[in-house]
Amino acid sequence: MRLASKLALAALTAAPVAPIFAGIPQNSVKNSPQVAPASPPPAYAPTVRHILASPLVLRGTIMSITRLKGPDAANVQPGFARLYVETSVVTLIRGDAAVPPVIGYLVDVPLDSKGRVPKLKRAPVLLFARAVPGQPGQIQLVGRNGQDAWTPEYEALVRHIVEQVVAPDAPPTIKSVGNAFHVPGTLPGEGETQIFLITENGAPVSLQILRRPGERPSWAVALGEIVDETAGPPKPDTLLWYRLACGLPRALPSSSTASETPENAAVARQDYQFVLDALGSCPLD
């Protein structure tokens, strides 16, 4: 390994990478992120999470790999090998500044059935990473699929999500749930619930659930002060859907209905659960 690469390697191993994805053991990502075996392109939600955690997203082609051993490979999970990889950058998909044509990074990869390092040279990859301060030619992968196999379909999904994330009108991150109110209608079973959400940037977001006698409840989300009843719920696999499905707590906080009567508070909780069920689960792995 070249002297410059050795110096970069020392800097990388000296700076632990904090675990980003829930469920990854701390010791498996202490010095470098964990990489899962190659698989079909991930679903929308885990890909969004990768991108949101990654100041750098790029496509590259692996040029060389060096297997690390001894202290440089401390805390590697059994059945995995730690590699120092040098990759040629093909396209910068997300990033605030240009990157060098060749970058280096650490990655843990699963060994094959014979206990050998897989053949990765010239393999096309997508990288989800952050820059290493003071090392312009080095990056740190941000999660267990920080290096993932490239396919045209996967890159298209990543580009689509990046466009949504950096758009000026991108839906904000949901921090918590604010006040919730239920107003009964004049007929039995009729009513309206409004639930106000607290966002990271302070932008107004609210949910409206309408109940009509003999009908299934309907709901809509508003990104602004005015609720548009015709807007309806967000489409699946959109950034707004992700913000809600993956950002809302699993139950309406009791503080949200503190000023409501017990009867109205109970309906508000039911309506909140109705929204959660309509959004569906948030698969992050």
Answer whether residue 119 is part of any domain: yes
Domain identity same for 60 and 137: yes
Same domain, 274 and 207: yes
- Show the domain range for 91: 3-166
> Is 181 found in the same domain as 150?
no
| Residues linked to residue 91 through DSSP beta bridges, in sequence order | 59
Name the burial class of residue 88, with classes exposed (0-12), middle (13-18) and buried (19+) by CB atoms within 10 angstroms of its CB.
middle
Final residue of a structural domain among 166, 190, 216: 166
Same domain, 100 and 233: no
- CA-derived radius of gyration, the chain: 23
**pLDDT at residue 97, rounded to an integer:** 86
The per-residue pLDDT for 22 is: 26
Beta bridge partners of 193: 182, 209
pTM comes to: 0.82
Claim to verify: residue 125 and residue 220 sit in the same structural domain: no
The C-alpha atoms of residue 180 and residue 178 are separated, in whole angstroms, by 7
Residues 90, 205: one domain? no
Examine the domain organization and report whether 160 and 209 are in the same domain.
no
Q: Are residues 100 and 234 in the same domain?
A: no
For residue 138, give the amino acid letter: Q
146 and 53 co-located in one domain: yes
DSSP H helices in 172-215: none
Examine the fold and report which residue of 137, 166, 195 is the final residue of a domain before the chain moves on: 166
Does 17 share its domain with 69? yes
Regarding whether 130 and 220 lie in a shared domain, the answer is no
Q: Are residues 101 and 181 in the same domain?
A: no
CATH number for the domain that contains residue 107: 2.40.50.120
Task: Tell me whether residue 284 is in a domain.
Answer: no
- pLDDT score at 41: 60
Residue 201 maps to a domain: yes
CA atoms within 13 A on the CB side of 39: 9
Q: What is the pLDDT, as a whole number, of residue 230?
A: 65
The predicted pLDDT at position 228 comes to: 66
How many structural domains is the chain composed of? 2
Measured between alpha carbons, how far is residue 119 from residues 35, 92, 109, 111, 112 in Å? 15, 24, 11, 10, 10
| Residue 241 is assigned to a structural domain of this protein | yes
Please list the pLDDT of the chain residue by residue as tens digits (285 residues): 543 444 445 445 444 332 222 222 223 333 344 444 445 667 899 999 999 999 999 999 999 999 999 999 999 999 999 999 999 999 999 999 889 999 999 999 999 999 999 999 999 999 999 999 999 899 999 987 899 999 999 999 999 999 999 999 999 999 999 999 999 999 988 999 999 999 999 999 999 999 999 899 999 999 987 666 667 899 999 999 999 999 999 999 999 999 999 999 999 999 999 999 999 999 876
